Amino acid sequence: MQRLFLVRHGPTHAKGMIGWTDLPADLSDTQALSRLNAYLPQDARVISSDLVRTIETANAFQGARTRLPHDAALREMHFGAWENRGFKDVAAETPEHIRSFYEQPGDVAPPNGESWNALRARVSPAIDFALAACESDLIVVCHFGVVLSQLQRATGLHSYQTFAQRIDNLSVTEVLIDDGKWRAGAINHRP
């Protein structure tokens, strides 16, 4: 059995939809990072997206764990024209569009952005490649959407139900993979 530990990066304190914007993480909660380090397997490999908030978070607890190269395919959803904007601001301009994006996640995308299905199609092969490359437990320091995409794979929930899951910063969501079958372990666990 192989275990996948999806760690959401430290908080950015941004108020809008932050996808590909490269903001740093607030890693001042050293106690939370210490608990995270103690909770995660010491012999697991670590990979992150190529955005600074995940790189810094991974650096903060990596220790002696082997680090895999950063992977741009593990980035958060690309919000396109909605990037750095709040829900209320976008809803004031295009209420039906943003409502369908959240209420019917699938092929609806922000202007010049990425849909839920496109995110899943980008992320899942990258996760599969990293899992195959390490053949051991894998820690992926990533983003809200990335965590949810893999949680959906493990649970089989519909997209709307998956979107409703809470995934806090510096939380761990676990996936257990046995003979190609995925199942969820702890979800949004704060060690």
Task: Give the model confidence (pLDDT) of 147-163 as tens digits.
Answer: 999 999 999 999 999 98
Residue-range domains of the chain with CATH: 2-184 (3.40.50.1240)
Tell me the average pLDDT across 157-178.
94
Q: Supply the pTM of this predicted model.
A: 0.95
d(C-alpha 134, C-alpha 116), whole Å? 27
C-beta separation of 126 from 143 below 8 A: no
Tell me the average pLDDT across 132-145.
94
d(C-alpha 181, C-alpha 5), whole Å? 16
What tokens were used for 67? 């680090």
Bridge partners for 5 per DSSP: 139, 174
pLDDT computed for residue 134 by the predictor:
87
Taking Cα atoms as reference points, which of 73, 30, 75, 29 lies closest to residue 52? 75
**Would the pLDDT of 135 be above 90?**
no
pLDDT computed for residue 95 by the predictor:
95
C-beta separation of 5 from 140 below 8 A: yes
Neighbours of 81 (CB within 10 A): 12
